[in-house]
């Protein structure tokens, strides 16, 4: 029988205050996991606490900046002490800055890479020793369409997410023999607060031009929802995926398979 249960597992989902991370946390909770999340601000942590309380989930939140290796190590040490260690890590925390490359400050480029690529390295590095000791572990990196494709104004994001795809494969290569599976989810265009400006109805009542573009490029003819990622995340976190490693599962409504409509 295929085992999708996460009963008794401890799952750390970084930045899971709302949106994709929160949806994944809800799915893990429904599958039986203990939920732990972090945020780098007290206000974000408080928002998460309210959201989890409203959802009926007893989640533990940590005030922790995932780009700070010392802070991450302290958080993981506390999880080890109080919850028996991390069985499932989801590197979900991330940012995007939509700025033309020739106008982008180096500091902004470094910030995006630091949060979207270096932080997953720091978090994975912190949990892997415990996973080796346990004899099992699941690491899920949240990649992106930009792990495969380029687009205007997202040079830093695409560079970081492309790097995250290769970090996923390398963790698989180094630690697969310890029964640690590292895979990634590559969301398509998901309706979240982060993408809300791209879906705003225009003053004349028409859809945002980017909204129209995405609908035309997606065979499913819609934006994805955070809930669309729940099943794939549970699969990659469960024993059902024990021989799946180094894989990026694109949950994109078919965009990567589609060349687009012929102009009329």
Sign of CA dihedral 58, 43, 13, 3: positive
Catalytic residue, chosen from 62, 157, 175, 189, is 157
Other beta carbons less than 10 A from residue 122's beta carbon: 20
Alpha-carbon gap, residue 84 to 33, rounded angstroms? 13
Cα–Cα distance measured from residue 99 to residue 198, given in angstroms and rounded to the nearest whole number: 15
With beta carbons less than 8 A apart as the criterion, state whether 124 and 79 touch: no
Question: Exposed, middle or buried: residue 102 (CB in 10 Å: 0-12, 13-18, 19+)?
Answer: exposed
Kindly write down the DSSP assignment for every residue of 201-238, as one continuous string: PPTTSPPPHHHHHHHHH-TT-S-B-GGGGHHHHHHHHS
Respond yes or no: is residue 62 known to be catalytic: no
Known catalytic residues are: 157
């Amino acid at each position: 029988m295929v085992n999708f249960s996460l009963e008794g597992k401890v799952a750390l989902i970084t930045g899971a205050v709302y949106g994709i991370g929160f949806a994944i946390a809800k799915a893990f909770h429904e599958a039986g996991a203990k939920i732990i999340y972090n945020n780098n601000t007290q206000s974000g942590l408080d928002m998460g606490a309210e959201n989890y309380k409203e959802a009926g989930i007893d989640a533990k939140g940590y005030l922790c900046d995932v780009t700070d290796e010392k802070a991450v190590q302290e958080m993981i040490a506390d999880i080890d002490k109080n919850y028996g260690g991390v069985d499932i890590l989801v590197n979900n925390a991330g940012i995007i800055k939509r700025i033309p490359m020739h106008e982008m400050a180096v500091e902004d480029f470094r910030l995006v890479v630091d949060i979207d690529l270096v932080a997953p390295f720091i978090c994975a590095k912190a949990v892997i020793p415990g996973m080796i000791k346990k004899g099992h572990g699941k690491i899920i990196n949240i990649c992106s369409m930009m792990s495969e494709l380029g687009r205007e104004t997202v040079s830093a994001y695409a560079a970081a997410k492309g790097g995250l795809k290769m970090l996923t494969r390398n963790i698989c290569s180094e630690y697969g023999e310890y029964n640690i599976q590292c895979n990634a989810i590559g969301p398509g265009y998901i309706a979240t607060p982060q993408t809300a400006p791209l879906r705003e109805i225009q003053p004349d009542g028409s859809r945002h031009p980017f909204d129209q573009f995405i609908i035309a490029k997606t065979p499913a003819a819609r934006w994805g929802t955070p809930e669309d990622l729940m099943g794939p995340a549970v699969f990659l976190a469960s024993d059902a995926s024990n021989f799946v490693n180094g894989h990026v599962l694109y949950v994109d409504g078919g965009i990567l398979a589609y060349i687009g409509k012929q102009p009329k």
